[in-house]
Amino acid sequence: MSAFPPPGAKAELEEGATLTPRFDRDGLVTAVVTDAGSGHLLMVAHMNAEALRLTLDTGIAHYWSRSRHALWKKGETSGALQTVREMRVDCDQDALWLRVEVARPEDTCHTGRSSCFYRIVRTDGDRHALETLEIAKLA
């Protein structure tokens, strides 16, 4: 038995009161993660049903690592645990927004930054380049 009921009709997805996440063909749903205090974008990750259930049950963010093919409790080794302050679901329940408090903000990204989004894409004619924000690295 699944931890979540299967998605229903469009009206139920969009207006209903039951969480029925629409996992993709790989069994994942996208999670956008922001800092609950500042609102800054921290990361984008994916959750399978087990990660979502553990997150809801514990209040600590869990994800599915697509590269390691493993369940991932964010911050378990670094100490940068993400305590979920609020979770929202989008209109058709195929994306989540987590507002979190991070125990060690400098370890949000494995690069030692407070956000995984520390580069700006600059376009000059046909050339696209990445500009690294100097203030982003905390450690």
Q: Which residues are annotated as a binding site for Zn(2+)?
A: 91, 109, 116
- Ramachandran bin of 13, using left for φ above 0, alpha for ψ from -120 to 50, beta for the remaining angles: alpha
Q: Which among 86, 74, 89 has a CA at the least distance from the CA of 43?
A: 74
Q: Which residues are annotated as a binding site?
A: 90-92, 94, 109, 116
Q: Which two tokens stand for residue 70?
A: 């493993």
Q: Which residues are annotated as a binding site for Mg(2+)?
A: 90, 92, 94
- Rounded Cα distance, 136 and 39, in Å: 15
